[in-house]
Structure formats: C-alpha cells, structure tokens
Structure 1
Amino acid sequence: MSDNRRIAEEIIEAVGGQENVLSAAHCATRLRIMVKDKEKIDQVKIEDIEKVKGAFFNSGQYQVILGTGTVNKVYEEVTKLGVGVSTKAEQEKEVAKSGTVFQRAIRSFGDVFVPIIPALVATGLFMGLRGLVMQEQILALFGMAPEDISENFILFTQVLTDTAFIFLPALVAWSTFRVFGGSPIIGLVLGLMLVSPSLPNAWNVAGGGADPIMFLGFIPVVGYQGSVLPAFIAGIFGAKLEQRIRKMVPDAFDLIVTPFLTLLVMITLALFVIGPIFHTVENVILDATVAILDLPFGISGLLIGSLNQIIVVTGVHHVFNMLEISLLESLGNNPYNGIITASIAAQGGAALAVGFKTKSAKLKALAMPSALSAFLGITEPAIFGVNLRYGKPFIMGLIGGGIGGFFASIFGLKATGMAITVIPGTLLYLNGQILLYLLVNVIAIATAFVLTWMFGFSDKMLKENKSDIL
C-alpha cells in the first residue's frame, strides 16, 4: 500500500468514516471535506497522521493542510476509496449557506477578487521589470542612457503595465456577476461600459485635463478607469436584477429581453447613482488607508505587521485585496506589501526555530517544510500546523512581524504589485529597493527565530499539548 493511500484511509477514518463524509474537494494546499457531523472528527488523530500539517473546521468544511503537490496525490486516493467528490466551486456553493452574515460577506468578497489577482500579479511583475531595465545603472551596462530608450519600447511596456488597471472595472464586474449568480459576459460588458472611451477619462479628470459630464446640473459622470468599488456594487445589483428579470420574462424572449434590460437599467444606475456615491466612498477608504500607512515613526508597519497574521487566522484577510488594488491604481505602488511580507516571513522564522530546536523527528519533519512554505508566501502550514498549536511560537511570529513591518515602514518599501511575498516577492522590488526588502525579511525572520528559540518553544510542550507529536 502506498503512503498516500494509507494517509487517505487514515484521514477518512479520523473524520468519522465514509458514512460521515458528504464530499471531498481540494485547493492548492488543503483537502476540503464536508461532513455530516463535525463532532465525529478526531482532531488529535488527524494531526498525528503523516504529512498532515494541521487541520481546522471552517464554515462547513473540514480543511486538512497537506501542502502543494501532496494534496493532489492524497485527494486522488480519497476518490478511489469511493468517497463522494465535488469541485471546490460546488463545495463553495454549499458552504455559502453556512456561517454568519459577516463570514458569508467576507467569503463572497474573497471569491470575487481572488480570480483577478493573477492578472494583477503579472502586471506588478511587468512594472518591476520595467523599473529594473529603466535604471541608469542597468542601462549603463549596455552603454545606454534613459534618453536612448525608444518611444515604441515605452509604449510596449505601457500596454503590459496599464491594461489591467484601465479595464479593472470590467474584471471586477465580470467576477462579481459570476459569484452572485449572474451571467459573467453581461457583467463584463457592464464593466466595459464603465470605462467607455465616450466618457471623460477618470485619470484626465483627476489631473485637471478634462471635466466630468454634469447631468441635471449636479450629477458628475466620468469613466471609472482603475476603480473597484463602483464596479463591485454594480455587479452585485446587476446579478440580482438579471436573476429577477429572467424569472419574469418568457423563455422565448429571454435571450433578447434579459440582457437588454439588465444592461440598460444597470448602466443608468452605475453612472448616475452607484458610481458617484461609491467612488466617493472608495476615495475616503483609500485616503484613510494612506493616512494609516503614513503614520510617523514606523507605527503603521508595527501595527499592521503585528496584527496581519491574526487577521489571516480569522479568514477575513481577503478584504485587503481591494485596498491593495486601490493603492496600486492610485499611487502606482503598494506600501502594504512590504509590511505583510514581514508578518509572513516571521511566522516562517518561528516555525523554523521549532524545527531546529525540537528533538521530535516528526515535528521536525513538519516544521521545516512549513517554514519553507511560509518563505514562499503561504503561511497556513506554519500557522495551523506548528505555531498556533503551541501558542508561543505564533506570538513570537507576531512580534517578529511587527518589528519587520516597522522597518518596512521606516525604509518606505513600495512594491510594484501585490499578492506575492517573501522569496517570490523579490520580483516586486526590482525598483531599486531589493536590498532593503531582503533586509526587512531577514530582520523579521531573525527576530521571530531568536524569540521562539529562547522563549517560545521547548519539547516539554509536546507532552503538555493535547495534540502532541512524539
């Protein structure tokens, strides 16, 4: 019997057997199991299974952290056991019915923005590469100066770096329609209407080069290039309106009437009501965020770096995707990224200290890969598998994140993109800040490592902890 087969069998047995499993799915790092009765789950037994890096119950799903690659192999064995399977999307439809109103709202928010992130990651990398090749020192290696760069090359780089933000409302509206049950293509068209070239360009209006169109003498109408919140709110209302219209219209006329009425009503509301109101709200949120990030003496970095991973544990961290997108669109950079990178790196440093200090072969085999995962930007294995299990390492990681965040703020780190951190995140700091970025990571990791080694962990905790690893 293969190891993965045995692990699959042990997991199913520990969650109450096949009769207690409704379905199984997986994401990049976790096996997601929907169970009939969560009281039948043996948490201690689950955490004692080889290759399991942690497990927790969240909004109708029991999520077993296995790590990238491993989760695919174990899931394949789970399906061979005859367990009911479903896609992650199908499970999300079920879990959407569970949890508090706040939890469901945050989950929907994440579902909207997570699919957009890869495009913004690529855009950020393009910005970083452009910043690198445009540096005088780099150009000098090829006997060139900035004025030698052709206009056609600049135009090409602008296509790479500006397109996603120009059409951001289209991406947001498309994804929002998809999540809230509308037709994604209608959402896409609605979003494109919000950035129609027939409307005054938002950036030109903001720069004083154009004036908004005034309807009824007091309603300013502009394009919403780079805007997020108006498209998000319009997407929610549009998806619900489409559903309502579709129920009322006879099937023979659905293809013509439903999209016509949905787009007519929603672009009217979006331009005259939703846009002006929520663009103002968006600016207020952005101004407040910038004000917090601009707090003197590194206070913002200390606070955000210390608290970020607590927010990750609660699962509401997807809220900040919108803020990072707004920062990139408005400022052209992302000062938030360097701070949260410190918080992520520090949790890896704490897990690394546990791995080095423990004499337990199994805990060492769990902690070391978990630390590596954190250094690649994924903290769940380190948090749920090691640091939170023993408590103090997690706290030491929070302290390390605060110290690292403090220096990120003091140094004024500004990423060219979002969503990648620690080692992969170096690509976002090819704008001349890479050495400072590396220093911040080293400070965060070293602080968490030393504090965990000295005060945060000893093998005595293995016996004291209910889910001890021996």
Structure 2
Amino acid sequence: MDNKTLAREILDNVGGIKNIKSAQHCATRLRIITKNQELVDVKAIENLDKVKGSFYNSGQYQIILGTGLVDKVYEEFMPLIGQETTAKVEDELPGSEKITFRRAIRIFGDVFVPIIPVLVATGLFMGLRGLLTQEAILSVLGLTPGDVPVQLIQFTQILTDTAFAFLPALVAWSTFKIFGGTPIIGLVLGLMLVHSILPSAYAVGAGEAEPLIFFGFIKVVGYQASVLPAFMTAIATATIEKWFKKVIPDSLDLILRPFLTLLCGLILGLFIIGPVFHEVENYVLAAVKFLLTLPFGLGGLIYGSFGQLLGIIGIHHILSLLEINMLAKDGWNLLNPVGTCGNVAQAGAVLAIAVKTASNKMKQIAYPSALSAALGITEPAVFGVTLRLGKPFIMSMIGGGVGGFFASIFQLRATGLGLTGIPGTLLYLNGQLPLYILTNLIAFATAFALTWVFGYKKDDTL
C-alpha cells in the first residue's frame, strides 16, 4: 500500500472529511482532532498496512506510523481534507511546467509575504530612532546625544536590529515552507548563517572586521541582512532534504535527515554560495566607484536606476566601505543622496498602487509598505509589492534614476551614512536640505506618475 492510498484509507475510517476538525503530526504519530469519536473505526485503522497502533489522548486520535513515514502520510493526508502542508510551489517549478521570469519573481515574493509585517514594524522603529537620536532633533529639546541614556539606546537597538540581523533565518524558514522542506530546519539553517562566530558582512564591508579564511583561500562572512544568498541556499537545501526523504529508511529518518540536511546546507551556504557573492561584491564596489566619477549626472542616473538591485541580490554591504572612505577623506558622502532616491521611488510606486488598486488586500499591504520605504526600509515594498508585480518595480527604477541624476547635478553631499528617505534629511543640514527634499520629491513623483499611468491597473493582484 503506497502512502497516498494509506492516507485515503485513514480518512475513510475516521469518518471522512466532515468528521475532521484539524490534523497535525509529531515525530511518529498522525494526530487528528475529530468531531465525533464514535465514527472512527479504530480496528480497521489498526489493521491497515504500516499502521503500528492508535489511541485517543486529550481529544486527539493519534495514529502511530513511525518516524519518516508519518511525514509522508501527512503530506498526502492534508490535501485530502482540503488543507495544504505547503504552498505547492512545486507546481511552479521546472518539471511540471516551464518556469518563466515572472513566475520566478512571484515565487520569490511569496517567500516574503509572511515576513512583511516585521519588516514594516522594523522600518517604523528605525525611522523613529533615526529622528529621535539625531543631534539636530535633540537640540530642539535642549539635549545632546550624550544626554540620551545608554539603556534607551540599547533598547532601541533591539527593536531596530533584530529582524534584519536574523533576516536570513526568516527567509530560510519561509523558503523551506514554500518549497516543501521542514520549516524548522530552514529556520535553524538561517540562524547558522548569521552565527555570532561569523563576522558580519556589514563589518567586513566597512573594514572593521576580516572574513574567516577556510582551507587557506575561501573567504567566509555572515549573511546578516542578506536576502538572495539565504534564499538560494534554502532552495537548494530544501531540495536536498526532499531527496533525503525518499532515500533514507523510515527507521533512520528522524536521526539522519535533519543531520544531513543541515550539514549539506551549511557547507553549501558558507563555502559555495557565500564566496561567489563575496567576489561579486568586489566587482560591484569597483563599478560604483567608477560611476561616481562620470560627468553630467550619468553616474547618478545609472546608480539611481540599478542600485536597488544590489539590495535584492544581497551584496549592498560592501558599499559601506566606500561611504566610510569618502567620509574619512573629504567629510562628505556622495553615494547616500543617489541611493536614497531609489528608496523614495519605491515609496512613490507603492503609494500609487495603494491609491489606485481596487483590492482591499493590496491596500493593506501597500500603504504600510510605502511608509516603510519612505523611512528607508524598502524590503516590504520591493518583495511584497513592486517586484512581484513587475512593472511597478521598473517604474521605481526609472524614478530612482531620475532622482539620482538630479542628486548628481545638484552635487548633493551627506554628512553621514545609514539614513535615507525622511530620516535622511538629518544628513543634509549643511545648507543642502531644500535640494535634498526637491530631489526626493522628483524621484517620488516620477515613480508615482509612471506607476499610475503605465505600471499598474487597478484590478491587478499579487
């Protein structure tokens, strides 16, 4: 008897769909909450091939199947009762239907849907912290940065840093869930990728730390705040885990599958995918340095258009080194005013969608995502809205490019780094604040108008 037939026989003998409230599973047992215990044919179930016994406990009818087998039967059982164990992304992948770029982007976006609320909250926390801890704001209250209690700073750091420090763990968890792996294994794999022993990619990018060197030549850093490396590692590892499910004997599944999955995933992430992205970062750094030297605003136009892609790819950390070097050498940051235009353009594109859409669900996602982007956190806007829809992302790139062009023409220079959008105004209290506001309004308005006219129809859905 195959697993699908076994699942169907169990369903028939517990009284059918109408007698089931919900179903779960543990390491060895399929746990079913039934409406009427008298409709369950215990004897018939226990006589089924592969069933090792059953019993009632705390309102649950628990069927003993054993390690490994219970996972497989559960995956067959849940669709029979009208519930899915995963988002069935397998239907979107090669093998069942030819994958397209749009379908791949939609899958990528689906991974971020469960994560969006915490990213929006973090964006708000970061915006408020940036405003309330700046010297210009504190001076209005007759205070200086030294007057702010250390404990308050530490408290705000917990609010603002946690989600992004462990973003790879959230991405890996959601990716495993979407791609049919075990979500808790994905979560642990993501946590391994940001383990405290691994130097932060931001610290390495800023020149404050050195990468770990394995085998004499492989440079390894943590994935803190990275997206695509964790996403790719999780896809590959979830695929490996599903293969292990098929080849590992059920009696050894509980021991071997998590062990081998995490081992393979960590090796893949740290020694293959990570180093590849590290090399890409070096080329990106050289390219951005070159762009900043181009005349007539061309560098601002190009970087303002395509800089948003660096955050998606997860190689934006290296630019911190360039910003710090500029500040140390001349006291000015020429990259910030160009980069912030892309963030504000995302806010404009998403706000256009929020206003124009006929979908209440879309409005619920788009409005807070637009606010978060205006405060400098674009992940909810990008992964939750514009990238999934396609055209609005292109419109935001154009808006960012137009804004970046004017930022270069106006020769905008920030006095620091790390703040963009509305909080970024505090970096331009050097006589350039009006030009900074004007530049960002241009980026915002361009993306808003293009999205409204060309990039989005009111009936489009995610």
CA distance in 2, matches of 1:347, 1:203: 28
What are the within-5 Å matches in structure 2 for residues 70-89 of structure 1?
A: none
**CA shift at 1:115, angstroms?**
4.4
- Give, in whole Å, the separation in 1 of the partners of 2:337 and 2:117: 16
Q: After superposition, give the CA deviation of every residue in 1:285-306 in whole Å (9 maximum; x if it has no partner).
A: 465467557755433554577x
**Shift of the alpha carbon at 1:237?**
1.6
Structure 1 residue aligned with 2:312: 322
Say whether 1:192 aligns with 2:195: no
1:159 aligns with 2:158: yes
* Structure 2 CA distance for aligned equivalents of residues 179 and 142 of structure 1: 49
The 3-state SS of whatever aligns with 2:219 is: strand
1:146 aligns to what? 145
TM-score where L is the length of structure 1: 0.52
Cα shift readout 1:327-366 (whole Å, capped 9, x = no counterpart): 37853979545236348748989xx9xx9xxxxxxxxxxx
**2:305 is the counterpart of 1:341:** no
> Take 2:166 and 2:446, find their aligned partners in 1: how far apart are those partners?
42
Distance change (3 Å), C-alpha of 1:251 and 1:328 = same
1:260 maps onto 2:259 in alignment: yes
What residue identity is the alignment partner of 1:341? V
Q: State the Cα distance separating 1:247 from its structure 2 match.
A: 0.8
Render the CA deviation track for 1:49-88: whole Å, top value 9, x for unaligned.
Answer: xxxxxxxxxxxxxxxxxxxxxxxxxxxxxxxxxxxx999x
Q: Secondary structure at the match of 2:297?
A: helix
| TM-superposition CA deviations, 1:393-439 (whole Å, max 9, x none) | x99x9988764453355446899679xxxxxx646756658855643
CA shift, 1:448, in A, is: 9.7
Cα drift, residue 133 of structure 1: 1.5
> How far did residue 171 of structure 1 move?
2.5
Distance 1:117 1:329 in 2: 25
> Residue in 1 aligned with 2:127?
128
Question: Are positions 1:238 and 2:228 aligned together?
Answer: no
Cα distance in 2 for residues equivalent to 1:86 and 1:437: 51
Give 2:341's aligned amino acid: G
Alignment match, 2:104? 105
Residue 222 of structure 2 is matched in structure 1 by 223
1:377-392 matched pairs, under 5 angstroms: none
- C-alpha distance in structure 2 between counterparts of 1:283 and 1:347, whole Å: 32
- CA 1:296/1:286 → structure 2, altered by over 3 Å: closer, same or farther? same
- Secondary structure at 1:220's aligned position in 2? strand
TM-score (structure 2 length as normaliser): 0.53
Alpha-carbon distance in 1 for matches of 2:190, 2:135: 39
The residue type equivalent to 1:322 in the other structure is I
Q: Name the residue aligned to 1:72.
A: none
Structure 1, unaligned runs of 5 or more: 1-84, 309-316, 356-368, 389-393, 419-424, 457-470
Q: Kindly name which structure, 1 or 2, has the bigger radius of gyration based on alpha carbons.
A: 2
CA distance in 2, matches of 1:401, 1:334: 11
C-alpha RMSD of matched pairs (Å)? 5.1
Matched residue SS, 2:180: coil
Q: Which residue identity lines up with residue 192 of structure 1 in the other structure?
A: L
Provide the C-alpha distance between the structure 2 equivalents of 1:174 and 1:347, rounded to a whole number of angstroms: 26
Equivalences for residues 441-460 of structure 1 within 5 A: 442-443=441-442
Q: Measure the CA separation in 2 of the matches of 1:320 and 1:234.
A: 18
1:265-344 → structure 2 map (5 Å cutoff): 265-285=264-284, 288=287, 292=291, 295-302=294-301, 322-323=312-313, 326-327=315-316, 331=320, 335-339=338-342, 341-342=344-345
The 2-side partners of 1:108 and 1:297 are apart by 39
SS at match of 1:225: coil
Letter in 1 for 2:316: L
Rounded to whole Å, the distance in 2 between the matches of 1:284 and 1:450 is 34
TM-aligned CA distance change 1:92 to 1:321, over 3 Å: farther
Query: Which segments of 5 or more consecutive residues in structure 2 lack a partner in the other structure?
Result: 1-81, 324-335, 357-362, 374-380, 454-462
Q: Could you tell me which residue of structure 2 aligns to residue 175 of structure 1? A: 174
For residues 224 and 445 of structure 1, what CA distance do their matches in structure 2 show? 31
Tell whether the 8 Å contact from 2:399 to 2:446 is kept in structure 1 after alignment. Answer: yes
Distance 1:233 1:415, change over 3 A: same
Contact 2:199 2:210 in 1 (8 A): yes
Cα deviation, residue 264, structure 1: 1.7
| Deviation (angstroms), 1:100 | 4.3
Contact 1:186/1:259 (<8 A) preserved: yes
Amino acid at match of 2:265: M
Distance in 2, matches of 1:229 and 1:220, equals: 18
Query: In structure 1, what residue type is equivalent to 2:160?
Result: T
Q: Secondary structure at the match of 2:185?
A: helix
C-alpha distance 169-375 of structure 1, shift in aligned 2 (>3 A) = closer
State the 1:240 CA deviation: 0.7
**Alpha-carbon contact 2:348-2:445 (below 8 Å) kept:** no
CA distance in 2, matches of 1:328, 1:119: 21
Moved more, 145-154 or 97-106: 97-106
- 192-201 or 210-219: bigger deviation: 210-219
Using the alignment, how far apart are the partners of 1:449 and 1:230 within structure 2? 31
The verdict on how the C-alpha distance between 1:121 and 1:236 changes in structure 2, with shifts beyond 3 A counting, is same
Partners in 1 of 2:207 and 2:404 — Cα distance?
36
What per-residue deviation string (whole Å, max 9, x for no partner) do you get for residues 192-251 of structure 1?
A: 112222344555555666554443333334433344443233212211110000111223
Shift of the 99–279 alpha-carbon distance from structure 1 to 2, 3 Å rule, reads same
Q: 1:258 to 1:346 in 2, by over 3 A?
A: closer
Contact 1:286/1:327 (<8 A) preserved:
no
Q: In structure 2, what is the Cα distance between the partners aligned to 1:440 and 1:321?
A: 21
